[in-house]
Amino acid sequence: MTEQLRLMAVHAHPDDESSKGAATMAKYVSEGVDVLVVTCTGGERGSILNPRLQGDPYIEEHIHEVRAKEMAEARQILGVRQEWLGFVDSGLPEGDPLPPLPEGCFALQDVDEAAERLVRLIRSFRPQVITTYDENGGYPHPDHIMTHKITMVAFDAAGDPERYPDAGEPWQPLKLYYNQGFNRPRTLALHEAMLERGLESPYGEWLKRWEEFQRPDRTLTTYVPCADFFEVRDKALIAHATQIDPDGGWFKVPMEVQKEVWPTEEYELAKSLVETSVPEDDLFAGIRDN
């Protein structure tokens, strides 16, 4: 294929791009693929999760600007381009019963209207492949679920000249994937590897919760080898300083264990307009040779 390959990763908040598929993106950037991260919201309602920064009045008052600067640093580390869709973070409702979502937030937008912004970016960037979240959002944050909804609409609409006629020249992406990096087989493999080495595993509670909820495993179709870029992934994640505790569970598994036991990032092929066979090891399988 002589035309440049282009990958678009659609995420809900700044930091999601660094925790879901970041090593994959860095790998493709190193191969000359043009990668664009689309961030739907500014993360304005995100909690400060790094204990070292909690209680900082400047950060609390300027969280939107702080998270934008963190995103800029992570973007440079990964070598990707990035665009904001400009929606307002919905926050994660907590309590029983759950409180209503804030007026005007992303999750309360009309799906078809909100999708137009993404259609514009798809038509201007012209990706062959798009990644996003499954119908559960990966986890049930309202912004993640809304990100799934608008991406599904935009994937189908971007190539249809009758839909969103003022949003640019039609362009049809060829493949759509769901990020599935937080899957049970990977978690179990790393958990057992830590115990075998006499180390404390950070995944014991995760596995218990999976058993309690008894949710069926997702179908993993695509395993992208990207262990050489795990350090880049972690560096980008740490750049989101308000969201990530550098001493937290994200980094408890030694790098050499990760690379040996599970050297890939995983995806679920949701839509394909080209012929391919699974399992795949490349998001552009079926596209490179056509």
Average per-residue pLDDT for the chain: 95
* Residue 289, marked binder: no
256-272 per-position pLDDT tens digit = 999 999 999 999 999 99
131, 179 contact by CB (below 8 A): yes
Q: What is the pLDDT of residue 249?
A: 84
Domain assignment of residue 288, yes or no = no
Q: Do 127 and 201 reside in the same domain of the chain?
A: no
Burial of 130 from C-beta contacts in 10 A (0-12 / 13-18 / 19+): buried
Domain assignment of residue 278, yes or no = no
Domain enclosing residue 76, as ranges: 6-182+219-272
Q: How many domains is the chain partitioned into structurally?
A: 2
129-183 per-position pLDDT tens digit = 999 999 999 888 999 999 999 999 999 999 999 999 999 999 999 999 999 999 9
Q: Do 155 and 203 reside in the same domain of the chain?
A: no
Domain assignment of residue 148, yes or no = yes
Angle between helices 63-78 and 22-30 (to 10 degrees): 40
Domain assignment of residue 90, yes or no = yes
pLDDT exceeds cutoff 70 at 105: yes
Q: What is the pLDDT of residue 1?
A: 45
pLDDT exceeds cutoff 70 at 2: no
Q: Do 223 and 233 reside in the same domain of the chain?
A: yes
Q: Do 230 and 193 reside in the same domain of the chain?
A: no
* Residue 56, marked binder: no
CATH of the domain at 111: 3.40.50.10320
* Residue 247, marked binder: no
Q: CA 87 from chain center: how many Å?
A: 17
pLDDT exceeds cutoff 80 at 290: no
Domain assignment of residue 249, yes or no = yes
Identify the CA nearest to 163 among candidates 118, 116, 203. Answer: 116
Q: Do 241 and 111 reside in the same domain of the chain?
A: yes
Q: Do 192 and 59 reside in the same domain of the chain?
A: no
Domain assignment of residue 137, yes or no = yes
